[in-house]
Structure 1
Amino acid sequence: MSKLKTDICVIGAGSGGLSVAAGAVQMGARVVLIEKGEMGGDCLNTGCVPSKALLHAAGAGMSYPAAMDHVCQSIATIAPHDSQERFEGLGCKVIRAEARFTSPKTVEAGGVTIKARRFVIATGSSPRVPEIEGLASVPYLTNETLWSLTACPDHLIILGGGAIGMEMAQAHRRLGAKVTVIEAFEALGREDPEAAKIVKTALRGEGVTLIEGTGAERVSGTNGSISVSLSDGQTVTGSHLLVATGRRANCDDLGLQHADVDRTKTGIKVGPNLRTSNRRVYAIGDVVAGGMQFTHVAGYQAGVIVRALLFGLPAKAATHHIPHATYTSPELAQVGLTEAQARETYQDKLEIVRADVSGNDRAIATGRSGPGFIKLMVVKSRPVGVTIVGPDAGELIAFWSLVLSLKLKMSKIAGMVAPYPTLAELNKRAVSAYFTPRLFDSPKVKTIVKIIQRLVP
């Protein structure tokens, strides 16, 4: 077995791992990048990219074969940016094999023992499959295998009403499938209930059957005929079954016991600086215990630890400004605290201001002025959370991520000017709603204005 010494060994070539490797090697560090699967990880190959490509194709009215072809083309177009060839061209040593720690200082992969000053675990997550009677013996799909379908399902049953389940429900309904979503609790239950209701109403309006508050107890059947028995006595029968009940960290086969790296049932334990119990080892992205499992979080955390790894600077990862979005139509996006969380935290110090999509001129002009809103949670003139539901909510929320990151006051935000007509004017309108009672409904302000008008020539 050959031996290799390096500055940084990155395990996992998904969003986080690739960001660390690219940043470190281009600034002069020696980098070994290990990936046992496809370069680009889940996001490129089976997650974010294909799901959003399918949603676009479904919304554009494509046939199922054309939609799947669009998915493949989207992946193929992006793939060179994440490819082994690109990273080798940057100067990384790329090893396409499974990695396993053999000591706190070494990893083995592909017949090579790698000794590194620092290790970064960025192995991501995989679909979590629940323990349901009969499920193991029934053909089912996950986000990893869904893309192998060549024909539209006749009736797609989806277990799980989170973002993945709801996005795939709408996409497949628009592509011609009958769709039933089964959620044991509430669909989009982690989101603002008012915003989630708008999304659920839209999906139901398109013909998606959404069953909430009852779980799957038993699954049976074969290809083309699968039955799901529910806890309330219902039985749902369809042609295909998609399991979308969450994610589990990919850390079982890393040999962490040899690396002195502590873990829990949900992933690898890290501190605010993303360092594990082994000071040589960091972990980022979905593999982190209790972390936010979004591609952009892994990318953000990569930037945080690159500063620590290359320059020895203290660095901590924050979460208060991390946005997320569900890309249904309408979209639902959130950053910071929801209304319920903000009320629990700040109680009577909290102010809620909002603006409705129906009053936005661009939404009206483009036929997208249906139900939707932006809601700001404000404490002492600073936003602590923002909820947006409506067209392009995922785009609009980025502005508020910057606001929360910089801890801007509403008076500073009021100086923002959006081109007319744009959906971004919703942001401005919400800020205006905050100042309206302070300016137009204030007797004190009116008195001051009258005095000035008398005194100023």
Structure 2
Amino acid sequence: MKAYDLIVIGSGAGGLTATFTALGFGKKVLVVEKDRPGGECTWSGCVPSKALINLAKDVHIAKKFGAVAVDGADILRRVRAVSERIYEHETPEVLQNAGADYVNGAARFVSANTIEVGGQQYMGKRIMLATGSAPLVPNIPGLTDVDFLTNENIFEQTSLPPSLLVLGGGVISMELAQAMNRLGVKVTVVEMMPEVLGREEPEFAALVREKLASEGVRFALNTKAVRVERTADGIKLHTESDGKAAYLEAAQILVALGRSPNVKGMGLEEIGVQIKGGVVVNAYLETSVKGIFACGDVAGPYLLSHMANYQGKIAAMNAILPWPIRRKVDYQHVCWATFTDPELAHAGMTEAEARAKYGDRIRVYHYDFAKLDRAQTKEGDMGRIKLITDLKARVLGAHIIGERAGDLIAEVQVMKTLGLSFGKLQKVIHPYPSYADALRQLSQQVFLDNIMQHPVVKLFRKSK
């Protein structure tokens, strides 16, 4: 039986990071993958969705200058080609050349330190679970009787549907709804809640929805999916809203209602690994069974590729390095972006969350891109920033909607993670004209408030 310092089950974002981290410390690593390396990000998530979004944006811009014929089959082929290019850096050969052993197949635990793949057993001093997640399929009558789409198969289609129902109002829904609509697909989003993007600042979520609606996307909010029926022309979705029954029809239906961690079929519970939705881990990303660690979607709580990278590095080091230098995960500075047009970026708390924790001991700042020269150079450009700080101007939360919001939030993240007063950013020279200059301008406002709150200044003002 072959023995390894670390066995990594799964080779998505978390698994690949864990693998290369362990290899960097000179450890003997086995990677087990039942499909192809790259995981959801490469094949059905970040990479193909952003490729589709970019192509759809090109079409949208071109339509401003004349009629555009969209070749859906070609669009989808080009999207898949992007995934294949990314995959060139993640192939089994790449892993093996880096020093890892690679086995293709489904892993099952024989004991806490031994797995079986294809009839062959392998032993690991430590084992990393990085099996990711799969689309959550709700128990809606009739849904499994139709050929519904998810993010896992939508990019494998050979043509675009003429019309599409999208179940859910989350990130995947908004990104794909806008992209498909721009490519000529008639899209209707069905959401049970009164607003889309429930984790975002409500006014920013509304701006995204309004932008998509202005482009032609239809929204059925406060609407529950009751039953799915196949028709001669496609799909009929029976709904209920405010106690009233209705229905919506389209050629196809996309289910985008969240993710479900991949925990089944490996014998985890049989060896004592605690599962509650996903795999339960402690602050060191170790499961209830000593020596078995987990990272990424299978562990949660944030099902994001960059969080899988973050966890993968920490989990791998905790697995292979001595106990005294183990590190805990820290979720104080989680951020993400929704890549609609305009983009929506989120770091830290919403205003409601900050007020719930700190009461009135916060400051809230707003900035509109109408003040930004760079935004004025692009017709129809819009954007807003909402910044929430404590009384010392340290960032508690930030929300940006606008061009390149996903990049702008990174600068806020630096200030937030380092615990710096946002007012200090006004010292930093920013290129002009740039979108990042919006953050410098906002920091000037924070800087002035800091001065006005200084005890000497307050005393001086009071004495006048």
Question: 1:373 is paired with a residue of what secondary structure?
Answer: strand
Deviations 1:330-388 (A, max 9, x none): 11110111111111111110110121122111121133532x21111101321111111
Q: Residue 195 in 1 paired to residue 204 in 2?
A: yes
Measure, in 2, the Cα distance between the counterparts of 1:275 and 1:345.
29
2:99 aligned residue: 91
Aligned residue pair count: 444
Measure, in 1, the Cα distance between the counterparts of 2:266 and 2:380.
48
Q: Per-residue deviation at 1:80?
A: 1.1
Q: Percent identity?
A: 36
2:47 aligned residue: 49
> Which amino acid letter does the alignment assign opposite residue 444 of structure 2?
S
Question: 1:414 is paired with a residue of what secondary structure?
Answer: helix
2:317 aligned residue: 307
Unaligned runs of 5+ in 1: 450-457
1:374 aligned residue: 385
Q: Per-residue deviation at 1:223?
A: 7.0
- Which of 1, 4, 11 is matched with 1:6 structurally? 4
Q: Residue 70 in 1 paired to residue 88 in 2?
A: no
Q: Per-residue deviation at 1:222?
A: 4.5
How do 1:211-250 and structure 2 match up within 5 A? 211-222=220-231, 224-232=233-241, 233-250=245-262
Measure, in 2, the Cα distance between the counterparts of 1:404 and 1:230.
43
Question: 2:127 is paired with a residue of what secondary structure?
Answer: strand
Measure, in 1, the Cα distance between the counterparts of 2:284 and 2:454.
47
Q: Per-residue deviation at 1:193?
A: 0.3
Q: Per-residue deviation at 1:78?
A: 0.8
* 414 and 72 in structure 1: CA distance in 2 versus 1, 3 angstrom threshold: same
Q: Residue 398 in 1 paired to residue 410 in 2?
A: yes
Deviations 1:195-234 (A, max 9, x none): 1011000000001001111110011015742000111212
How do 1:54-133 and structure 2 match up within 5 A? 54-61=52-59, 63-133=71-141
Q: Per-residue deviation at 1:408?
A: 1.5
Measure, in 1, the Cα distance between the counterparts of 2:455 and 2:281.
54
Question: 1:82 is paired with a residue of what secondary structure?
Answer: coil
TM-score, normalised relative to structure 1: 0.93
1:285 aligned residue: 296
> Which amino acid letter does the alignment assign opposite residue 5 of structure 1?
A
> Which amino acid letter does the alignment assign opposite residue 387 of structure 2?
L
2:62 aligned residue: none
1:32 aligned residue: 30
Q: Per-residue deviation at 1:245?
A: 0.6
Q: Residue 429 in 1 paired to residue 441 in 2?
A: yes
C-alpha RMSD over aligned residues: 2.0
How do 1:18-29 and structure 2 match up within 5 A? 18-29=16-27
* 45 and 226 in structure 1: CA distance in 2 versus 1, 3 angstrom threshold: same
* 359 and 92 in structure 1: CA distance in 2 versus 1, 3 angstrom threshold: same
1:298 aligned residue: 308
Measure, in 2, the Cα distance between the counterparts of 1:337 and 1:14.
28
For the 8 Å contact 2:294–2:315, the answer to whether it is kept is: no
Q: Per-residue deviation at 1:119?
A: 0.6
Measure, in 2, the Cα distance between the counterparts of 1:56 and 1:8.
38
Question: 2:340 is paired with a residue of what secondary structure?
Answer: coil
Measure, in 1, the Cα distance between the counterparts of 2:162 and 2:351.
39
Deviations 1:87-116 (A, max 9, x none): 000110000100111111111112221111
* 307 and 105 in structure 1: CA distance in 2 versus 1, 3 angstrom threshold: closer
* 24 and 60 in structure 1: CA distance in 2 versus 1, 3 angstrom threshold: same
* 325 and 228 in structure 1: CA distance in 2 versus 1, 3 angstrom threshold: same
Deviations 1:163-189 (A, max 9, x none): 001111000100001000000113111
* 28 and 441 in structure 1: CA distance in 2 versus 1, 3 angstrom threshold: closer
Deviations 1:421-455 (A, max 9, x none): 11111211221222334558999759989xxxxxx
For the 8 Å contact 1:158–1:169, the answer to whether it is kept is: yes
TM-score, normalised relative to structure 2: 0.92
